[in-house]
Structure 1
């Protein structure tokens, strides 16, 4: 039986650093040894070191900061930001985000007409292809430190026989007040999943290589459970956790 072939040098470097990150030898937020030091340690060229580091970046374990070096992103560390999710109603009757953050649009959202794709039509319980009012916004909070992509969808059929039949309603969250004024009692449900961002999403959210994002779909329903609108959020998944209240229905 032939002897097993030794792993490629770049793989040895990646495995060595991965082990050190996971066992705490290299703590989260701390710099890794430089390319020069790793090249000498393993007897390789710096391009080989970069190939090993690329594996760790793709896995979300290392972040490379231009001019500063390579820094650890440990999967065991607690995120620096916890955001409560959901919508609550104030004593004045206003609907506000549970996280209490003030989100500003990079540009004023403009309503466009789109047709409901199959997946969203299913959540909205409308036929695929039904026209929707759609708003897109890049939003920031905390003086630009926090970022999210936010899209609002409102089916035309929800607006029949209302003042919005011939004009676009406002985007969420102002949409909530508009729907309440039409006599709806609002309820909300969210669907959450992590996924890797598309290139334009990674650029807008300023995500490092190998970092996933949260994809959240929020459906606004009336008192009968009929969907009235849908929102789509894309949130950075690098240093953020989301918190949801769980209600005892007994």
Structure 2
């Protein structure tokens, strides 16, 4: 069958997902059934599935097929913000988008052998123990953000890492990379999809790093904005 049928099939399946004909959380019909229903070849259905995945309307689950998910809702989240305000800001961003969501603590643990990148960014000598917090951010129950916050154990015990003691100076680094298999499963995206990595270091008045935030987000669902505090490096250069 000609590939000219692709737009028609895509539009029809998209409409049936959006109007609930194919309910959220349920698999779409098998490829063979769709081929027969639309009178098209396998290539057309495969191309349609790829397009629906890119739109965030389906994701593949092993042994189940293409599972329908709700249309993508994008929230705008600031990075230049006090640590204590982040859960409130996340919930407010979800409300502005007409949905609900939370930034929820998962675990806190000691790490006596942190990765080299972490010790370098925190200006620590190798082997200095750190404390790590993990949080998950969700939109309507769908995980879209994975946070890890790192601080030296000595600063944590002295309570000196508190963001209120910082001078508002932050260093933000952004990187785009392919999702790992675990991240793809958590975000319900295909393994070749991109995720956004953000590293934020917060400094005190003497230029000493207080804490490091490593945030990984699904860019189809989360847009990073900076509106609360100026993002500047400890050397005085603007960070864009």
Same-fold call, TM cutoff 0.5: yes
Task: From the superposition, tell whether residues 196 and 30 of structure 1 become closer, same or farther in structure 2 (CA, over 3 Å).
Answer: farther
**1:57 and 1:210 in contact (8 A); partners too:** no
Q: Look up the SS of the partner of 2:89 in the other structure.
A: coil
Deviation of 1:87 after TM superposition, in Å, equals 0.7
Q: Residues of 1 paired with 2:118 and 2:136: CA distance? A: 21
Partner of 2:157: 164
Q: Normalising to structure 2: TM-score of the pair?
A: 0.60
Gapped regions of structure 1 (runs ≥ 5)? 1-8, 89-93
Q: Would you tell me which structure has more helix in proportion to its own residues?
A: 2
Gapped regions of structure 2 (runs ≥ 5)? 18-32, 92-101, 232-236
**1:121 and 1:128 in contact (8 A); partners too:** yes
**2:194 and 2:219 in contact (8 A); partners too:** yes
**2:136 and 2:143 in contact (8 A); partners too:** no
Deviation of 1:164 after TM superposition, in Å, equals 1.1
- CA RMSD between the two structures: 4.6
Q: How many residues are aligned here?
A: 202
Partner of 1:87: 81
Q: Residues of 1 paired with 2:84 and 2:68: CA distance? A: 43
* 1:151 maps to which of 141, 148, 152: 148
Deviation of 1:112 after TM superposition, in Å, equals 2.1
Partner of 1:136: 134
Q: Normalising to structure 1: TM-score of the pair?
A: 0.58
Partner of 1:223: 205
* 2:90 maps to which of 94, 101, 105: 101
Partner of 1:115: 113
User: Which structure: larger Rg?
Assistant: 1
Deviation of 1:85 after TM superposition, in Å, equals 2.8
**2:80 and 2:226 in contact (8 A); partners too:** yes
